[in-house]
Amino acid sequence: MKIESKVVHSGDRQKGGDYVPVTTPIYTATTYSYDSMERLDRVLGGEEKGPSYIRYENPTTSAFEILMADLENGHGAVACSSGMSALHISLLAALMDRPRRIVAASALYGSTVSMLMNVLGPMGIETAFADFCDLGAIEEAIAESKPGLLLMETISNPLLRVGPIDRIAEIAKRAGAPLVVDSTFATPMLVRPLELGANIVIHSATKYLAGHGDVLGGVIVADQENFDVIKPLAVTLGPSMSPFESYLTMRGIKTLSLRMERQCSNACKISSWLATHLRVECVYFTGDPAHPDAATITRLFPKNLNGAMVAFELKDAGRDEVYRFIEGLKMIVRGTSLGDVHTMIAYPAISSHRDISPKQRLRMGIRDNLVRISIGIEAAEDIVGDLDQAFGL
């Protein structure tokens, strides 16, 4: 099946009795009983498929995991309670029997940087940062630190850089280090990192996958070698996604292809309009032909699906001017998330990269006049109209 059909059908209608519900129900039970102790023994031992305890397996969550493994063409998936828990489990698992060193992209989500420096650092796990759009810089960082894994984002947050995942995967393979990719901004509709040679891909299910602002969750999809380490580690540490969150995410994914088509189309229109506005200094958008990574984007992304995130800098603006602009918006939602059906605006300096020092933010290219918009499915004219009236204040 093509991915547009997979998002509708994969994971549903798993046989568990004499009847099959057409969509996956919410199984709220924490524990499952079997008439035969021998069968329970086999289930608990992993010799036979079946739920026993919710931290090990839940029918609703298992269906979501089947869906995600299918969408990403991975060996298996593990659903987690948040995107950050998915990242944490992935990094710990990948470093289990490898050098406790990481080479990470210099352009990353602020909380990811905080995890690397403030959580993993004190545990003795060292991180070196490199420009993942510069293959030479990656090679140099690997030669110097000899890492146990490489970490990057498909589309970086918030400046939307796109590294050549396939070529980075080749470098990682030569170094004997798995490549971990946070693909939250891209979703499987744009890029499937495992198909390009990555070993582990993670998503914040809170964002585009669920898509409606009512879920907290994350998911890991991996190749067999890494999945066989990730799954038991996740069971032991227990950051399990709840059945209700799994159900809502599966329900959201059924419209993922339609939502992404509309959101990507809207993003093209909004970014083009912003680029002509007198109050806009610079626009960042993966569909811009002048994007610094345009060749990689053209090669790896489907035609007309360039992503739905847009960032831009307000001309001659400081924090006060940015605040006034954002407060002037009437329809666009002020919030720290992204990927929902409604358009949302965030100010990275106080949200996604709040925990990064001003000097480090500046080194990352995140200036105090930068805002980030997650484009929704509304009429593009209404999004433009709201931005325009806010600029006019």
The CB-side HSE value for 15 (13 A sphere, CA atoms) comes to: 1
Q: Which of 32, 34, 55, 167 is catalytic?
A: 55
pLDDT (0 to 100) of residue 22: 86
Q: Which of 56, 161, 182, 259 is catalytic?
A: 182
Residues 239 and 356 in one domain: no
Coil/strand/helix, residue 55? coil
pLDDT (0 to 100) of residue 393: 59
- Per-residue exposure over 263-275, b if at least 16 CB sit within 10 Å of its own CB, e if not: bbbbbbebbebbe
- The answer to whether 306 and 160 are in contact (CB under 8 A) is no
- DSSP letter for 196, please: G
The CATH code of the domain that includes 12 is 3.40.640.10
The CB-side HSE value for 356 (13 A sphere, CA atoms) comes to: 26
As given in the structure block, the two tokens for residue 92 are: 């710990």
Q: Which of 101, 207, 262, 372 is catalytic?
A: 207
Residues 225 and 271 in one domain: no
Residues 305 and 342 in one domain: yes
Residues 202 and 295 in one domain: no
- DSSP letter for 124, please: T
Residues 91 and 226 in one domain: yes
Known catalytic residue: 207? Answer: yes
Known catalytic residue: 182? Answer: yes
Among 253, 277, 304, the domain-final residue is: 253
Tokens 């933010």 map to which residue? 361
Residues 374 and 268 in one domain: yes
pLDDT (0 to 100) of residue 342: 98
pLDDT (0 to 100) of residue 246: 98
- The answer to whether 197 and 221 are in contact (CB under 8 A) is no
74: nearest Cα among 302, 182, 253, 227: 227
Residues 302 and 330 in one domain: yes
| pLDDT tens, position by position, 199-245 | 999 999 999 999 999 999 999 999 999 999 999 999 999 999 999 99
- Name every residue whose Cβ is closer than 8 Å to that of residue 142 and which is 6 or more positions away in sequence: 103, 150, 171, 175, 177
Give the residues of the chain that fall short of pLDDT 70.
16-18, 393
The CATH code of the domain that includes 356 is 3.90.1150.10
Residues 377 and 353 in one domain: yes
Residues 200 and 348 in one domain: no
Known catalytic residue: 55? Answer: yes
pLDDT (0 to 100) of residue 324: 96
Among 253, 275, 302, the domain-final residue is: 253
Q: Which helix (H) or strand (E) holds 25?
A: none
Among 237, 253, 269, the domain-final residue is: 253
Residues 355 and 313 in one domain: yes
Domain count, the chain: 2
Q: In which domain, by residue range, is 55 found?
A: 3-253
Q: Which of 27, 70, 101, 109 is catalytic?
A: 109
Residues 277 and 248 in one domain: no
**Where does 73-163 have alpha helices with state H?**
83-94, 110-114, 135-145
| Beta-bridge partner residues of 76 | 222
| pLDDT tens, position by position, 138-171 | 999 999 999 999 999 999 999 999 999 999 999 9
